[in-house]
Amino acid sequence: MSKINSKNKGKRGELLLVKALKEHGFDCRRTQQFCGKGGESADVIGLPKIHIECKFVEKLNIYDAVNQAKSDCSTGNLPAVFHKRSNCEWLVTMPLEFWIELYREYYSGLLNNTTSTKAV
């Protein structure tokens, strides 16, 4: 695949991801990619605290993609690779330590929002 087609495929994947996230109620958008010029390096923004690396490929070296997300991720954000093959569902991959952090926040919210009805 030529470099131009590869860029177009990446752009298509990012647009598909933005559409999917918007369907779930998130206000997301693609970022402009300016290599080495600072600014936001995530492919898609709009999920607070999540650094999104988007991959729309048939074969993916997931460890390389996760390493890219980790190295591009700003301090305080959680690196995540959103990836998809043609005619397949979106998947999200992140290092366990960051998933644990995310799940603890989620679970803590569950515990804080439930009231105990047990008899003492």
Instruction: Name the least confident of 2-6, 12-16, 29-33.
Output: 2-6
Give pLDDT tens digits for 23-69. 999 999 999 654 444 556 899 999 999 999 999 999 999 999 999 99
CB atoms within 10 A of CB 34: 10
Residue 56 in any domain: the answer is: yes
Instruction: Report yes or no on whether pTM surpasses 0.85.
Output: no
Provide the CATH number for the domain around residue 49.
3.40.1350.10
Tell me how far the alpha carbon of residue 21 is from its chain's centroid.
10
CA 99, 101, 106: angle at the middle one, nearest 5?
90
Predicted confidence at residue 37, as pLDDT, reads 44
Contacts of 33 (CB under 8 A, 6+ apart): 43
pLDDT band at 111 (very low <50, low <70, confident <90, very high): confident
Residue 110 in any domain: the answer is: no
Give pLDDT tens digits for 70-86. 999 998 999 999 999 99
Residue 31 in any domain: the answer is: yes
In contact, 92 and 84? CB cutoff 8 Å: no
Residue 105 in any domain: the answer is: no
Residue 101 in any domain: the answer is: no
Q: What does the DSSP 8-state code read for residue 32? A: P
- The domain total for the chain is 1
